[in-house]
Amino acid sequence: AQSVTQLGSHVSVSEGALVLLRCNYSSSVPPYLFWYVQYPNQGLQLLLKYTTGATLVKGINGFEAEFKKSETSFHLTKPSAHMSDAAEYFCAVISSASKIIFGSGTRLSIRP
Protein backbone atom coordinates (compact mmCIF):
# COMPACT_ATOMS: atom_id res chain seq x y z
CA ALA A 1 0.00 0.00 0.00
CA GLN A 2 1.14 3.51 -0.74
CA SER A 3 1.83 6.02 2.02
CA VAL A 4 3.81 9.15 2.79
CA THR A 5 5.57 10.27 5.96
CA GLN A 6 6.36 13.90 6.60
CA LEU A 7 9.22 14.38 9.03
CA GLY A 8 8.58 17.28 11.36
CA SER A 9 5.12 18.64 12.06
CA HIS A 10 6.53 22.15 12.44
CA VAL A 11 9.51 23.81 10.77
CA SER A 12 10.65 27.36 11.54
CA VAL A 13 13.19 29.25 9.43
CA SER A 14 14.37 32.83 9.18
CA GLU A 15 13.32 35.00 6.28
CA GLY A 16 15.85 34.52 3.49
CA ALA A 17 17.01 31.13 4.75
CA LEU A 18 16.73 27.79 2.99
CA VAL A 19 13.44 25.94 3.35
CA LEU A 20 13.61 22.14 3.52
CA LEU A 21 10.47 20.08 4.16
CA ARG A 22 10.99 16.34 4.26
CA CYS A 23 8.79 13.65 2.77
CA ASN A 24 9.41 9.93 2.44
CA TYR A 25 7.08 7.66 0.53
CA SER A 26 6.23 4.00 0.39
CA SER A 27 4.96 2.57 -2.87
CA SER A 28 4.99 -0.82 -4.54
CA VAL A 29 4.69 0.77 -7.98
CA PRO A 30 6.39 3.80 -9.54
CA PRO A 31 4.83 6.63 -7.56
CA TYR A 32 3.11 9.82 -8.56
CA LEU A 33 4.07 12.36 -5.87
CA PHE A 34 2.69 15.78 -5.02
CA TRP A 35 3.26 18.74 -2.75
CA TYR A 36 0.27 20.89 -1.80
CA VAL A 37 0.17 24.10 0.22
CA GLN A 38 -2.70 25.25 2.44
CA TYR A 39 -2.91 28.84 3.61
CA PRO A 40 -5.08 29.66 6.65
CA ASN A 41 -8.80 29.32 5.99
CA GLN A 42 -8.22 28.16 2.44
CA GLY A 43 -8.26 24.94 0.47
CA LEU A 44 -5.21 23.16 -0.87
CA GLN A 45 -3.22 24.44 -3.81
CA LEU A 46 -0.92 22.27 -5.91
CA LEU A 47 2.73 23.37 -5.65
CA LEU A 48 4.25 20.71 -7.89
CA LYS A 49 3.98 17.09 -8.88
CA TYR A 50 6.22 14.29 -10.09
CA THR A 51 4.85 11.69 -12.46
CA THR A 52 7.62 10.50 -14.78
CA GLY A 53 10.73 11.94 -16.39
CA ALA A 54 12.99 14.55 -14.81
CA THR A 55 13.53 13.88 -11.13
CA LEU A 56 13.93 17.56 -10.22
CA VAL A 57 10.52 19.17 -10.37
CA LYS A 58 10.01 22.92 -10.29
CA GLY A 59 6.79 24.34 -8.92
CA ILE A 60 5.15 27.63 -8.20
CA ASN A 61 6.47 30.35 -5.87
CA GLY A 62 10.10 29.24 -6.29
CA PHE A 63 9.65 25.79 -4.74
CA GLU A 64 11.16 22.63 -6.14
CA ALA A 65 11.38 18.97 -5.14
CA GLU A 66 13.65 16.12 -6.10
CA PHE A 67 12.47 12.54 -6.51
CA LYS A 68 15.11 10.17 -5.16
CA LYS A 69 14.12 6.56 -5.70
CA SER A 70 17.10 5.15 -3.81
CA GLU A 71 16.10 7.13 -0.72
CA THR A 72 12.32 6.92 -1.31
CA SER A 73 12.22 10.65 -0.72
CA PHE A 74 10.57 13.69 -2.27
CA HIS A 75 11.80 16.62 -0.19
CA LEU A 76 10.55 20.16 -0.89
CA THR A 77 13.02 23.04 -0.98
CA LYS A 78 13.15 26.77 -1.59
CA PRO A 79 16.46 28.64 -1.57
CA SER A 80 15.20 31.75 0.20
CA ALA A 81 12.15 31.86 2.47
CA HIS A 82 9.66 34.71 2.27
CA MET A 83 7.15 35.70 4.92
CA SER A 84 4.35 34.78 2.52
CA ASP A 85 5.55 31.14 2.52
CA ALA A 86 4.13 30.60 6.01
CA ALA A 87 1.50 27.89 5.56
CA GLU A 88 0.80 24.17 5.98
CA TYR A 89 2.47 21.91 3.44
CA PHE A 90 1.28 18.43 2.52
CA CYS A 91 3.12 15.71 0.67
CA ALA A 92 0.91 13.21 -1.16
CA VAL A 93 1.10 10.03 -3.23
CA ILE A 94 -1.31 8.27 -5.56
CA SER A 95 -2.65 5.04 -4.11
CA SER A 96 -3.09 1.82 -6.05
CA ALA A 97 -6.76 2.74 -6.23
CA SER A 98 -5.80 5.95 -8.02
CA LYS A 99 -6.69 8.15 -5.06
CA ILE A 100 -4.52 10.78 -3.41
CA ILE A 101 -3.13 9.89 0.04
CA PHE A 102 -1.90 12.89 2.00
CA GLY A 103 0.73 13.06 4.70
CA SER A 104 -0.02 14.61 8.06
CA GLY A 105 1.39 17.97 7.05
CA THR A 106 4.24 20.28 8.07
CA ARG A 107 3.54 23.77 9.32
CA LEU A 108 6.12 26.24 8.06
CA SER A 109 6.76 29.37 10.11
CA ILE A 110 8.98 32.22 8.92
CA ARG A 111 10.85 34.35 11.45
CA PRO A 112 11.50 38.01 10.52
Partner 1 sequence: DAGVTQSPTHLIKTRGQHVTLRCSPISGHKSVSWYQQVLGQGPQFIFQYYEKEERGRGNFPDRFSARQFPNYSSELNVNALLLGDSALYLCASSLLRTGGQGVGEKLFFGSGTQLSVL
The residues binding partner 1 (CB under 8 A) are 9, 32, 41-46, 51-52, 90, 92, 94, 97-105
Task: Tell me whether residue 16 is exposed, middle or buried, using C-beta atoms within 10 angstroms of its C-beta: 0 to 12, 13 to 18, 19 or more.
Answer: exposed
Nearest approach, Cβ of 62 to partner 1 (angstroms)? Answer: 19
Nearer CB in complex with partner 1: 46/83: 46
In the complex, what is the shortest distance from the CB of residue 37 to partner 1, in angstroms, rounded to a whole number?
11
Residue 32 CB-half CA count within 13 A: 10
Residue (52 or 70) nearer to partner 1, CB: 52
Q: Are strands 106-111 and 44-50 parallel, antiparallel or unpaired?
A: unpaired
**How far is it, in rounded angstroms, from Cα 103 to Cα 46?**
14
In terms of Cα–Cα distance, which of 17, 21, 19, 18 is closest to 5? 21
Q: Which is nearer to partner 1, 56 or 112 (CB)?
A: 56
In the complex, the smallest distance separating the C-beta of residue 95 from partner 1, rounded to whole angstroms, is 8
* Closer residue to partner 1, CB minimum distance, 67 or 90: 90
Shortest Å distance, C-beta 44 to partner 1 = 4
Q: Is residue 107 a contact partner of residue 49, using CB atoms and an 8 Å limit? A: no
